[in-house]
Amino acid sequence: MNSDKITDKDILFMKKTLALAKRGEGMTSPNPAVGAILVKNEVIVGQGFHKRAGTPHAEVIALLEAGKKAEGSTLYVNLEPCCHYGKTPPCVNRIIQNKIKRVVIGMKDPNPLVNGKGIAALKKAGISVLTGVLETDAKKINEIFCKYITGGLPFVTMKAAITLDGKIASYSGSSRWITGEASRKFVHKLRFIHDAVMVGIGTVLNDDPLLTCRFSGKKEKPISRIIVDSRGRIPLNARVLNPATRHRTIIASTTGLPERKYNALEQKGAEIILTESDNGRVNILKLFTILGQRGICSVFLEGGGTLNSSIINNRLADKLFLFIAPKIIGGKEAPTWVEGKGIEDINAALMCTFSRQKRFGDDIMLEYYFNK
């Protein structure tokens, strides 16, 4: 229960806190993105954000910057302060030791090791606690962390670039480029905030992509590349198998993968995940369970119609970015972004919830959440 009411100042400083948290987005996995601001007499005396896993938490950085000014101040933080020992000591202890008067929190930490215990410890120490300030925004910043920490499965963001008539390529497979350069730059930004990018073998055979993260303004981030390849068709000279890229490559195949190809891929430095065959294809649900067990918290899916259909049918997709280019391809043999058998009754269609839209030149980007 909140100890006081939300004021306009609380909202103002929480917005600043959320902006700080976003500066660590994409770099903190498996930890959440957290910002912290210390305010005394309506003046910011210390601030910080979590930069990457294993480094000091946002609250600690803010407290160090504030020094003695921290005493009697209000701490704004978008996520409940931790109260357990991990790679760093509990933030709650530092907050209490520095005699913080009031703590304003965006959202409760869903981590079972915390989940209200941090708030309880602060209150027990006599600190006033206000929760739920801009909670919806706080949850969106850490939606990846929230899903992974509570269920162990990666958060899945699906991206598709389509023409006005819903095609992702011509009937011959030609697909470069459907969208413009501005859209493609934004896609690299989206890759940056995820742990891995996933494609089907068709994308590798048609385009031979690097699948790296080239987001300007940030240092190059090593990202896992996951290739779903049920029959082991990936060429050994594919660019994703080039060790010079210094990115982790995972080949997801079935137990029917020939031993010779398995060994050749391992020699190329690839990790191999094998699942039992699901009608000749990789068992997608089992694959994502294994990915979660291996510490991959989020997957940016840039698949074709077959892989997308499998992900959707297994209810694994969480978010969709649909880029629509002002082009018309036509042709009933031209691939669409969701294929497979499809549904028989329109009333069984999977519904999505609209989040936002944005223009990139002549392209339109639509963001949706998949209804579970």
The Cα 22–Cα 43 span in angstroms is 22
At residue 128, the 3 state secondary structure works out as: strand
Q: Which helix (H) or strand (E) holds 261?
A: helix 259-267
* Residue 244 burial by Cβ neighbours in a 10 Å radius (0-12, 13-18, 19+): exposed
| Count of positions (residues) in the chain | 372
Instruction: List CB contacts of 349: < 8 A, sequence separation 6 or more.
Output: 343
What is the DSSP code string of 27-81? Answer: TSTTSPP-EEEEEETTEEEEEEE--STTSPPHHHHHHHHHGGGGTT-EEEEEEPP
Contact of 285 with 265, CB cutoff 8 Å: no
Question: Is 80 in the active site?
Answer: no
The Cα 317–Cα 340 span in angstroms is 16
**Residue 258 CB neighbours (<10 A):** 11
Q: Which helix (H) or strand (E) holds 368?
A: strand 363-370
The Cα 305–Cα 341 span in angstroms is 11
Q: Which helix (H) or strand (E) holds 299?
A: strand 298-301
**Which residue of the set 25, 42, 59, 266 is catalytic?**
59
Give the pairing type, strands 271-275 and 249-254: parallel
The Cα 197–Cα 203 span in angstroms is 12
The Cα 71–Cα 142 span in angstroms is 29
The Cα 38–Cα 81 span in angstroms is 14
Active-site amino acid positions: 59
